Amino acid sequence: MAAPKVAVVGAGVIGLSTALCIVETCPSCSVTVLSDQFSPNTTSDAAAGILIPHTSPGTPIHVQKQWFKETFTYLLAISNSAEASEAGIHLISGWQVFKNTPKEEIPFWSDVVLGFRSMSEAELQKFPQHRFGQAFTTLKCDCPPYLLWLEKRLKATGVQMYTRKVADLWELHSEYNIVVNCAGIGAHQLVGDEKLFPVRGQVLKVHAPWVKNFIRDGDGLTYIYPGIHRVTLGGTREKKNWSLSPDPSTTKDIFDRCCSLEPSLCGAQDVTVKVGLRPSRWCVRLQREVWSQGGVKLSVVHNYGHGAGGFSIHRGTAKEAARLVGECIAGLQGSSSRAKL
Ligand code: FAD
């Protein structure tokens, strides 16, 4: 059969990394990315981009750990290469601090990040409101540069990218053999997934180059993540709130909470605000389907619903989606050789 034509819908971190994994595992495919928005206008652009996984109740822990490990290994290699500054990837050390000792003192990802250990009493003195803490080194993506780096790699391999809003995946059946749905929160409307809901997040980007370590309150709500040029201050988690407008009272609240964790931030300047809708679901939808209408078939692979942790697991889920695309291709080749008999 001719080279399979694959459309990836979505150009956030999930769509771009999935397209790249498909090209890497199936070089004979013709891959096109279709998206109504590209960087800098995706949810992925608003993210803080730190690699600390969020536990998803509907996915076995060993699978979440594997996705995280694959992502960590991939980005660690980039951070250790000449590509690091263009890709916006760097190692970062810091602390996750808790007001009370958490049930799980050692999280499932502790042996994937580097140098994980409990904080010493001397370190905890920096955080008088907290009684327990974990110190480790992880990775951080500066999100817009990383998305542009992924786009550049895709273009270099001949992947086409078009701005297009897809109303229904079926509309692509006459042009493509396989459609990969990486629409993030857009999948709520695109495939009518009622289990997918937004968790609104507002963050601030500030100039505070003296802040070098990440600090995350264990409740996950307040965090300080230094990037290459700007420090991200967070955040909020507002379930089923679809508003993309920044809220000034929330901006003040985030700033105050972060100054309480790291008082030197009171001198931070040049505050900008970003809002994004985390595509949340009880588990990532990583699934292969065959759609059929009037005897015409379309292979569909879903890869969306990464919630608060898309950057932390993107490479792992992209590899799995590419494997599912490989299964679709094997199915297509099987049916085309049966048709010739
Ligand atoms: P998106 O980035 O939303 O991409 C979806 C793409 O699909 C877009 O290009 C969109 O235009 C396109 N699309 C949608 N519908 C259609 C359609 N009908 N037709 C065509 N195109 C369509 N994760 C971490 O791991 N670490 C963090 O530190 C972190 N911080 C975060 C902070 C905030 C404030 C927020 C909001 C999120 C954070 N996340 C973090 C989560 C992370 O941002 C998401 O999990 C991730 O960005 C989801 O990526 P995505 O590609 O699925 O979605």
In-domain check, residue 92 = yes
Domain total for the chain?
Answer: 1
If you take atom 12 of ligand 1, which residue's CA is the nearest one? 10
pLDDT at 89: 98
Q: Which tokens is 214 given?
A: 């990440």
| Residues 12-21: tens digit of each pLDDT | 999 999 999 9
Residue 43 among known ligand-binding residues: yes
Q: Which tokens is 286 given?
A: 């990583």
Residue 36: Cβ-neighbour burial (10 angstroms; 0-12, 13-18, 19+): middle
Report the distance separating Cα 132 and Cα 105, nearest Å: 9
Q: What's the pTM value of the predicted model, to 2 decimals?
A: 0.96
One DSSP character per residue, 106-162 reads S-TTTTTSEEEEEPPHHHHTT-TT-SEEEEEEEEEE-HHHHHHHHHHHHHHTT-EEE
Pocket of ligand 1, candidates 9, 18, 44: which has the most ligand atoms within 8 Å of its Cβ, to mutate?
44
Report the distance separating Cα 299 and Cα 330, nearest Å: 11
By residue range, what is the domain housing residue 96?
5-335
Residue 2: Cβ-neighbour burial (10 angstroms; 0-12, 13-18, 19+): exposed
CA 92 to centroid of ligand 1, rounded, Å: 22
CA 203 to centroid of ligand 1, rounded, Å: 14
Cis peptide before 226 (omega within 30 of 0): no
CA torsion, ordered 184, 206, 234, 216, to nearest 10 deg: 120
Please state the rounded mean pLDDT for residues 191-211: 98
If you take atom 18 of ligand 1, which residue's CA is the nearest one? 166
| Residues 267-305: tens digit of each pLDDT | 999 999 999 999 999 999 999 999 999 989 999 999 999
| Residues 138-189: tens digit of each pLDDT | 999 999 999 999 999 999 999 999 999 999 999 999 999 999 999 999 999 9
CA 12 to centroid of ligand 1, rounded, Å: 5
Residue 309: pLDDT above 70? yes
One DSSP character per residue, 190-211 reads HS--TT-EEEEEEEEEEE-TT-
Residue from 42, 96, 56 nearest 307 by CA: 56
Give me the count of residues in the chain.
341
| Residues 251-274: tens digit of each pLDDT | 999 999 999 999 999 999 999 999
pLDDT at 335: 72
Cis peptide before 235 (omega within 30 of 0): yes
Report the distance separating Cα 294 and Cα 284, nearest Å: 30
Pocket of ligand 1, candidates 8, 35, 303: which has the most ligand atoms within 8 Å of its Cβ, to mutate?
35
In-domain check, residue 340 = no
Q: Is 37 in the pocket of ligand 1 (CB under 6 A)?
A: yes
Residue 341: pLDDT above 60? no
Res. 3 pLDDT band, cuts 50 70 90: confident
Phi, psi for residue 72 in degrees, rounded to 5: -60, -45
In-domain check, residue 341 = no
One DSSP character per residue, 248-268 reads HHHHHHHHHHHHHHSGGGGG-
If you take atom 32 of ligand 1, which residue's CA is the nearest one? 47
pLDDT at 220: 85
Q: Which amino acid, one-letter code, is at 214?
A: F
If you take atom 36 of ligand 1, which residue's CA is the nearest one? 276
Pocket of ligand 1, candidates 223, 247, 311, 312: which has the most ligand atoms within 8 Å of its Cβ, to mutate?
311
pLDDT at 331: 85
In-domain check, residue 181 = yes
- Domain CATH number, residue 150: 3.40.50.720
